[in-house]
Amino acid sequence: MMDWQEVAVDGETHLKRVVDMYEELGFEVRLEEVKPEEVEQCTQCLQERGERIYRVYARRKPASQE
């Protein structure tokens, strides 16, 4: 079984697009809400809009679930 890989860190505005894209490509997707100080990249614009920030993890679905 493959381990989860972090594929993105994004705010609520773009989250659905990212999740839909990975699911369409045959991945399972898991979200983890994070605080701005837990993220290495700049999150100022997300904070200014009051968005929650999520780490997006993905892994290939097992062949039996595709």
Question: Would you state the structure tokens that stand for residue 22, as one six-digit string?
Answer: 């990975």
What is the predicted pLDDT for the residue at 64? Answer: 66
**SS3 per residue for 43-65:** CHHHHHCCCCEEEEEEEECCHHH
Amino acid letter at 14?
Answer: H
What is the predicted pLDDT for the residue at 15? Answer: 93
What is the predicted pLDDT for the residue at 30? Answer: 97
Q: pLDDT tens across 7-64, in order?
A: 999 998 899 999 999 999 999 999 999 988 888 777 788 888 889 899 999 999 877 6
Query: How big is the CA angle at 17 (ends 24 and 52), to the nearest 5 degrees?
Result: 135
Is the per-residue pLDDT at 1 higher than 50? no
Q: What is the pTM (predicted TM-score) of this model?
A: 0.80
Determine the Cα–Cα distance for residues 22 and 56; give it in Å rounded to an integer.
Answer: 10
The edge-to-edge listing of strands for the beta sheet with 27-34 is 5-11, 53-60, 27-34
pLDDT: which is higher, 5 or 46: 5
